Structure 1
Amino acid sequence: MRLQGNDDADVIVVGAGPAGSAAAHYCAAAGLDVILMEKSSFPRDKICGDGLTPRAVGELVRMGVPTREEDGWIRNIGLRAVAGGRSFEFPWPELRAYPSYGLARSRMNLDQTLAEHARASGAKLMERTNVTGPVVDERTGRVVGVTARPVDSNGRRAGEETTYRAPVVIAADGVSARMATSLGIEKAMNRPMGVAVRTYFTSPRHDDPWMESQLELWDGKPGESNLLPGYGWIFALGDGTVNVGLGSVSSTAAATKIDYKALFARWMENTPEEWGFTPENQIGPVRGAALPMAFNRKPLYTRGLMLVGDSGGMVSPFNGEGIAYALQAGRVAADVVSQATARTTDDSRERALSTYADAMSRELGGYFTLGRIFVRVIEHPRVMRLCTTYGLPRPLVMRLVVKLLSDCYEPHGGDVVDRVIAGLTRVVPKA
């Protein structure tokens, strides 16, 4: 898999979000020639809660990304869950595996930081380059590159289509997964799918040290009105603004008829006045996106194409987080590609590349299976209400909830809660 005379790179990465930039960074750091293609130009926005758990922070540390306050980051100390008229605060646990703090930063800045980090590592970053499809070798059926064309700031064609060749292509093209679908790799309808909407407000809560999750949303006063089908979040960004969003999850990928923007508006109408979540304080529109969960698109590797991040459905069913797993997948994919370059035959290189799917299943498959079970349970409002009313006030349950929902537990050793979670991820079928 060494660079051939007609190849433009050792690996092409499609999409410069967290997954793609992580893959490009690690591949370039390993000495590979990398092209990282992004259809937009930086800075550019993405629909996200902007909150990073300690697991995601650990991945940033591995990449060597500076996360100092002066670089635009704000730290958070744990998760605040609000339900049943009560508030429960869960500090991030002290673990050997991850730092004991989370971070927040808008995707407008985060993605640019990661893409520039990949470029500083040696990757060639091509912005405003819209990948139109894979190049497939007629003889072998392998993906051997991509076709792409330049676009302007509005996404309109701005040049001729060009072919770029590489022996491996990493698809980090998000929930649309156009590279995968062009090869007939469709999403699994029996896997969970989430939907989220969010916007920004200027607010006195901008420096709140807790990530807040509203587990019950009412369209009036709590307990005196209708319970809305979803959960909310409030993440402080430390710059005078907060990211406020609402999400919902279903155990299948079937489309819902819920008007999420209308739900969001009803929630905002009933938030405390002192929070400042009013139209005059709102920054930008309410925007929404789908959240593909629990490896909802497989195979993660086939014929020279790897799926990382949202393109492979790597969002947690527990909390809707995708950044940590996107960064992790980029790291694992790059390691597999680097190992494959050391093989001396086509067969041995292909065997090395095929280990990517096994590695991701081994690291996340059990946890995602537990998440699928969790979603099936909380889909029923009565069950969810019982859990928040009688479960959260119990200290042991509280510890289990924060570690399970945030995926912050010791995979080996730790306390009794860590051992229970780790044991469950090992015995359940892999997602």
Structure 2
Amino acid sequence: MGEPTVTEPSYEAAASEHTTPSEHTADVIVVGAGPGGSTAAYHLARSGLDVLLLEKTAFPREKVCGDGLTPRATKQLIAMGLDISEEAGWLRNKGLRIIGGGQRLQLDWPELASYPDYGLVRRRDDFDEQLARQAEKAGARLYERCNVSAPVLHERTGHIVGVTAKLGADKRPATFRAPVVLAADGNSSRLSLAMGLHRNERRPMGVAVRTYFTSPRHEDDYLESWLELWDRRGAEDRLLPGYGWVFGMGDGTSNVGLGILNSSKSFKELDWREVLKAWCASMPEEWGYTPENMTGPIRGAALPMAFNRQPHYTRGLMLVGDSGGLVNPFNGEGIAYAMESGQIAAEVVTQAHHRQTPAQRELALRRYPTVLKDTYGGYYTLGRAFVKLIGNPKVMKLATERGLSHPVLMRFTLKLLANLTDPTSGDAMDRVINGLTKVAPRA
């Protein structure tokens, strides 16, 4: 289905669908109250727009995640006015500890004008609710147990004018209407699929599996990244594909998990829960990463990377976070990019809302994909090349053995992988990274 031209009154047609005020009409609908959706709803509400935030489950609810937040995500939390003090239940971290090639290197987060010099840790089952409640405080109307089933399309233009949903435990049908809808419903993004937007299978995809253990390492000041995973149970040590992490949660437990990219030959061959068990079995016994100390099941989730679903705006629908494949291909980080894209989407929608004519409003909305590509396009192109390289275990092994012995090189790598640079006032490393992202194609 083709997009209407800018002069076609698609926005006006959508707006006319909900001119009668009711609790199920709004200026904007946000589907999904994860980090991206709640951030968008917060900023939209703060701008004075009437926002419906529709979440299919009820809080608190579980999500598979490393629970570790870099300074990029921390900056977004500060912008939302959240209390991120230790007294409010947040655990701060100083940087990243990298382990591989028989070496261990501890790197502090860089001191930058653009980002704080610390990250945070918080469980996802609580983290997401913190953001959703903050959006509510700003004025967004949150509907929990609201399972969105399909878009409502304008008969003539094909423009989305709302969504149908099933509400509450009794799954009663409901229709919500707005001239703009944000899909923040995750990797599977049923709403995007219903609008004809499918994943680009040539773009990278990752899988993460994780669990929790009671452990004496629960108050670690550093996020820990393992660039080599070894299975030491057999007669010979076996190098496993992927990378691992250990994040102390500050509550008596550690989040232990691993990620694998689809550029690896082993992506579809192995049972990743068994791989995680094998890796944990190779850990020192005193760390406590043993089956009897496991506090919950091993869970897995997909990591959609590098703009693997596009366009990010079409016919009134905007894609935010995982629904648009915004996970960083360099390090698997998704929360920061979900929140940033939510804020960007909110700014674009707010500007569009205050334009005087339908054509001007539609023109403003179509700016969203351009802003995303200007912000991340070149960086994600570099990330796709990186994913292909490290999919080869020999390359990964060589990189860890040679690279970890050079702290200056690793500080550069940390900035690159975590996407932490100052755009104008940075050092030589920042200038190199920023220069590379500018010359790379914004695909």
Q: Secondary structure of 1:204's partner?
A: coil
| 2:71 corresponds to 1:40 | no
Cross-structure match for 1:238: 250
Cross-structure match for 1:132: 149
* TM-superposition CA deviations, 1:345-374 (whole Å, max 9, x none): 111100000011111111111111111011
CA contact (8 A) 2:241 2:266 kept: no
| 2:134 corresponds to 1:117 | yes
**Post-superposition offset of 1:234:** 0.3
**Runs of 4+ with deviation above 4 angstroms:** 1-4, 221-224, 252-255
Q: Secondary structure of 1:207's partner?
A: coil
**Post-superposition offset of 1:151:** 3.9
CA contact (8 A) 2:208 2:260 kept: yes
**2:84 pairs with one of 53, 67, 75:** 67
CA contact (8 A) 1:216 1:227 kept: yes
- Number of residue pairs the alignment of both structures matches: 426
**1:362 pairs with one of 374, 383, 390:** 374
CA contact (8 A) 2:241 2:264 kept: no
TM-score, normalized by length of structure 2? Answer: 0.94
| 2:19 corresponds to 1:5 | yes
**1:31 pairs with one of 26, 48, 51:** 48
Structure 1: how far apart are the matches of 2:382 and 2:361?
Answer: 33
Structure 2: how far apart are the matches of 1:251 and 1:407?
Answer: 21
| 2:120 corresponds to 1:106 | no
CA contact (8 A) 2:261 2:267 kept: no
CA contact (8 A) 1:192 1:253 kept: no
| 2:220 corresponds to 1:203 | no
CA contact (8 A) 2:103 2:405 kept: no
| 2:111 corresponds to 1:94 | yes
* TM-superposition CA deviations, 1:278-324 (whole Å, max 9, x none): 11211110000110000100000000000000000010111100000
CA contact (8 A) 2:265 2:391 kept: no
Give the aligned residue type for 2:190. Answer: R
CA contact (8 A) 1:192 1:252 kept: no
Cross-structure match for 1:279: 291
**Post-superposition offset of 1:160:** 2.4
CA contact (8 A) 2:260 2:267 kept: no
Cross-structure match for 2:31: 14
Structure 2: how far apart are the matches of 1:248 and 1:30?
Answer: 40
CA contact (8 A) 1:301 1:354 kept: yes
Structure 1: how far apart are the matches of 2:330 and 2:233?
Answer: 27
Cross-structure match for 2:416: 404
Structure 1: how far apart are the matches of 2:433 and 2:411?
Answer: 11
**1:320 pairs with one of 332, 336, 341:** 332
**Post-superposition offset of 1:221:** 7.3
Structure 1: how far apart are the matches of 2:249 and 2:430?
Answer: 30
Cross-structure match for 1:214: 226
Structure 1: runs of 5+ lacking an equivalent = 153-157
Give the aligned residue type for 1:114. Answer: L
Bigger Cα displacement from structure 2, 14-23 vs 407-416: 407-416
CA contact (8 A) 1:54 1:101 kept: yes
Cross-structure match for 2:277: 265
Cross-structure match for 2:261: 249
CA contact (8 A) 2:93 2:221 kept: yes
CA contact (8 A) 1:190 1:251 kept: no
**Post-superposition offset of 1:411:** 1.9
Structure 2: how far apart are the matches of 1:421 and 1:186?
Answer: 31
